[in-house]
Amino acid sequence: MSYKPELLTTAASLNELERLIAAGADAFVIGEARYGMRLPGEFPIDQIAEAVRIANPTGVKIYAAVNNLMDNEAVESLQAYMAALAETGVDAIVFGDPAVLMAARVHAPGIALHWNAEMTSTNYVTADYWGRRGASRFVLARELNMEQIVETAASTALELQVQVHGMTNIYHSKRSLVNSYMEHQQETDRLDRRDKDRGLYVMEAERKDERYPIFEDANGTHIMSSDDICMIENLHELMDAGVASLKVEGIMKSIDYNEIVIRAYRQAIDAYIADPQGYTFQEEWLDRIREAQDPNRELSYGFFYKEQVY
Amino acid sequence: MTVTEKTTQRYQGKRHRLNKPELLAPAGNLEKLKFAVHYGADAVYIGGQKYGLRSNADNFSFEEMKEGVEFANRYGAKVFVATNIYAHNEDIEGLEDYLRSLEEAGISAIIAADPVIIETAQRAAPKLEVHLSTQQSTLNWQAVQFWKEEGLPRVVLARETSFKDIAEIKKHVDIEIEAFIHGAMCSSFSGRCVLSNHFTDRDSNRGGCSQSCRWKYDLFVDDMPLYPEDEDKFTMGSKDLCMIEYLPELIEVGVDSFKIEGRMKSIHYVATVVNVYRQAIDSYFENPADFVVKPEWIEEINKAANRPLNTGFFLDTPGPEDHIYEPEEKAAPYDFAGVVLDYDAGTGFATVQQRNHFKLGQEVEFVGPQGTLFKQTVTEITDADGQAIDAARHPLQQIRIRTLKPVYPMDMMRKKTGKK
């Protein structure tokens, strides 16, 4: 069995999806905010169906994001939504709430399930636990280091997905925190909107060079990392470990930027597939990303090589 | 064997719904455990040396756990252990032994979020009940149903659930529901915050939380501060939860366990808060129809409060009044000053262990379980040798003090602060 890692990304629209397929993406996570979390754009069910029609003939996969923390109200319509997703022919459903698993068993049987609880997917036994309950893929927390990822890959039967590029969420509240603050200040007219495209960020007094994007949507308030993960230099470590899916997160980036990033990772992955032993990283792949990178956002290794204490 | 069979088998004959809700209190160490139980907790939750989310707390050795369980059992109370981290691979080794040791120590239940811990406990330490931690952020009945089918007898709901949500969950699933009713809150969904990891390289989901949500931030838009620098800054910090005024609603909606937050809090805090909820719950069950929230309960709560209080998500989604943008004054001018160790009815003197400076002429009050409370002025203090002194200056010093009325071991003494 030959190893071919998947290059997974996001898209804000069908148009972006087509451009990123052309740039070399193998798979997409798309969905709508009512069921999915922190998506670059809205894909109502008919557009998910359209995405499948565009993507599948080219061998590209579409995964539906149903990874919200569900409330009772969402659960009401979840069964119908799962059934509708099943009809679109999506290749997998991404979930992070057991309620989705319960609904999928009945209303979308046979569709692959990817467990993605973001920060709380941290070990191989838990991976296998969700595997025995129907998941085929385990999306690892971005707070793990390389050794933990490599060990998990060697220890679980499930496919692993690891984010290799872009922003990560670092805080999610159900509260409308920006709005509350503006109401406290009694000046709510300072901002017309508080969505992810408004360019809001928070800064802490002792960390003046770090800008943490903040936004509100139907699911509450989200704070994002001040740096962008960029693992292209060391991508072979993940590929050597057999990580099945390498994700480029496209949220809060322009399509032009995402296109450049996908092209670069495509080249790296193709070079690796062609000759795993002879593979060497090419500086020019990273240079193209560097050129496109927002100077206020550092390209970093995230937590891949960091020691954390507790 | 199906999952449902497993559930029935393991919990057959046990309560699925408690008649009177359980009052569940935090206990950061053995002393706090004893105070929590003595003041009326039906159960306490503690942390062991590993797998808990308060790595800075004292935390219990297995020996201390045994002693705690023994003490609690004398009151008919139970001891739970929080094993609520999201484990990394290197945490797995030793987990089985650890859970078995908890079982041997007489622990009734663990509070866990990570399936590796849930599953290992079910296999290796089957006498331990597994309660699903709030770290799983469970908001809906379908997810509660899932955990029930996994064999868990109890779910601690997400702090984002409202009365309406709880009613809906109770309607669909027959399972014990535990809810936080008092104390500090994550303003994020529990477990969905790694601010500490990013700001301080401390892993929040393994007990390293540095409370970055309570820091002050500048909010920028278009590279400009949204408000001038000298105004109140942006923060995510939430007020603390206090549901004493909604006790009948909590009981009637069917919450089975009322949980107080605060393994890092003082014995004074734990004892005071437990004392109030104990009285309130008992008062409700004596006569539900005529239940009223007594003003002195609120006063007592305020004496322990560290932050302003609110009702979280129970009634509606928190707004501007539920966050802490500016310093606020302590609601009640009392500080914890001492613990009663003994009382001599012959002389009218109590032996008190000092917990804070107090002196002659100062107004103090004594409080014990079931709300006994009286105020007095400090008229006579002596040291352990009977020498008169004018103030209790030394931490943990044992002194003797004349009291107006008889007092009992584990009663607490507070002093009035501020002016005067």
CATH code of the domain in which B405 resides? 2.40.30.10
Name the nearest CA neighbour of B139 among A286, A72, A263. A72
Kind of pairing, strands B398-402 and A61-66?
unpaired
* A136, A278: one domain: yes
Q: Which amino acid is at B370?
A: Q
Mean pLDDT calculated for residue range A229-238: 98
| Predicted confidence band of residue B12 (pLDDT cuts 50, 70, 90) | very low
**Chain-chain contact of A97 with B218 (C-beta, under 8 angstroms):** no
Q: Which pLDDT band, with edges at 50, 70 and 90, does A1 fall under?
A: low
Question: Are B310 and B242 contacting, i.e. CB atoms less than 8 angstroms apart?
Answer: yes
DSSP chain A: -----EEEEE-SSHHHHHHHHHHT--EEEE--TTTSSS-SS---HHHHHHHHHHHGGGT-EEEEEE-S---HHHHHHHHHHHHHHHHHT-SEEEE-SHHHHHHHHHHSTTSEEEE--GGG---HHHHHHHHHTTEEEEEPPTT--HHHHHHHHHH-SSEEEEEEEE--EEEEESS-HHHHHHHHTT-GGG-S--STTS-EEEEETTEEEEEEEEEEETTEEEEE-SSEEE-GGGHHHHHHTT-SEEEE--TTS-HHHHHHHHHHHHHHHHHHHH-TTT----HHHHHHHHHHS-TTS-EE-TTTT---B-
Interface test with A, best of B83, B95, B170, B192 (most A CBs within 10 A): B192
Nearest CA in chain B to A152: B89
Same domain, residue pair A72 and A218? no
Closest residue to B319, CB basis, from A129, A180, A187: A180
Contact flag A75-B141 (C-beta cutoff 8 Å) = yes
pLDDT surpasses 50 at B139: yes
Residue B18 has pLDDT above 60, yes or no: no
**pLDDT score at A206:** 87
pLDDT of the residue at A291: 98
Q: A204 contacts in B (CB within 8 Å)?
A: 199, 212, 215-218
Q: Is the pLDDT of residue A154 over 60?
A: yes
How many angstroms separate the CA of residue B222 from the nearest CA in chain A?
Answer: 6
Residue A95 and residue A32 in one domain = yes
In this structure, is residue A89 part of a structural domain?
yes
- What is the arithmetic mean of pLDDT over A230-258? 98
Residue in chain A closest to B54 (alpha carbons) equals A310
Report the pLDDT averaged over residues B232-238.
96
- pLDDT value at position A308? 86
Between these two residues, A206 and B159, which has the higher pLDDT value?
Answer: B159
| A204·B217 Cβ contact <8 A | yes
For residues B241 and B169, state if they share a domain. yes
Q: Do A120 and B90 touch (CB under 8 A)?
A: no
Question: Is residue A261 situated within a structural domain?
Answer: yes
Q: Considering chain B, what is the average pLDDT of its residues?
A: 92
* Per-residue model confidence as pLDDT tens digits over B88-129: 999 999 999 999 999 999 999 999 999 999 999 999 999 999
Strand partners, B156: B178
Answer yes or no: do B298 and B409 share one domain: no
Containing B286, the helix (H) or strand (E) segment is helix B267-286
CB B114 to CB A120 under 8 A?
Answer: yes
For B185, the closest chain A residue by CA position comes to: A173
Are A252 and A190 members of one domain?
no
* Confidence label for B2 from pLDDT (cuts 50, 70 and 90): very low
Which residues in chain B are contacts of A118 at CB distance < 8 A?
192
User: Which member of A69, A123, A223 has the closest CB to residue B89?
Assistant: A123
Three-class secondary structure of residue B37 per DSSP: helix
Please calculate the CA angle B324-B327-B332 and round it to the nearest 5 degrees: 100
- Model pLDDT, residue A190: 85
Nearest C-alpha in A relative to B201: A308
Percent of chain B clearing pLDDT 70 (strictly above): 94
User: Do A136 and A26 share a domain, yes or no?
Assistant: yes
Of the partner residues A126, A143, A307, the one whose CB lies closest to the CB of residue B114:
A126
Domain that holds residue A182: 172-223
Tell whether the model's pLDDT for residue B8 goes beyond 80: no
B199–A204 CB contact, under 8 Å = yes
CA distance, residue A91 to nearest chain B CA (Å): 24
Q: Say yes or no: A133 and A177 in one domain.
A: no
Q: Provide the pLDDT for residue B55.
A: 73
Structure confidence at residue B327 as a pLDDT band (50, 70, 90): confident
State the DSSP H helix or E strand holding residue B130, giving kind and residue range, or none if neither: strand B129-132
Q: What is the pLDDT of residue A42?
A: 97
**If you measure CA to CA, which chain B residue comes closest to A207?**
B199
DSSP B180-192: EEEE---SSPTT-
Looking at the fold, whether A186 and A295 belong to one and the same domain comes out as: no
**Strand, coil or helix: what is B395?**
coil
pLDDT at B15 over 70: no
Is residue B35 over pLDDT 60?
Answer: yes
Residue B403 neighbours by CB under 8 Å, 6+ apart: B343, B348, B349, B350, B366, B376
* CATH classification at residue A50: 3.20.20.380
Answer yes or no: are the C-beta atoms of B197 and B204 closer than 8 Å: yes
Residue B386 domain boundaries: 334-416
Please tell me which of the candidates B92, B137, B318 has its beta carbon nearest to residue A125. Answer: B92
In a domain, A307, yes or no: no
Tally of structural domains, chain B: 2
Over residues A26-52, the mean pLDDT reads 97
Instruction: Report whether A161 contacts A92 (CB < 8 A).
Output: no
Q: Give percent of chain A above pLDDT 90.
A: 95
- Using a CB-CB cut-off of 8 Å, the residues of chain B touching A71 are 139-140, 160, 165
CB contact under 8 A, B201 and A309: yes
Task: Kindly state the tokens that stand for B259.
Answer: 């949980």
* Of B168, B207, B318, Cβ closest to residue A175: B318
The answer on B171 and B136 residing in a single domain is yes
**How many domains does the structure of chain A reveal?**
2
B188 neighbourhood in chain A, CB within 8 Å: 171-173
Assess if residue A65 is contained within a domain: yes
B87 to A303: CB separation less than 8 angstroms, yes or no: no
Q: Which of B322, B357, B384 is the last residue of a domain?
A: B322
Residue B203: closest C-alpha in chain A = A310
Same domain? For A38 and A92 the reply is yes
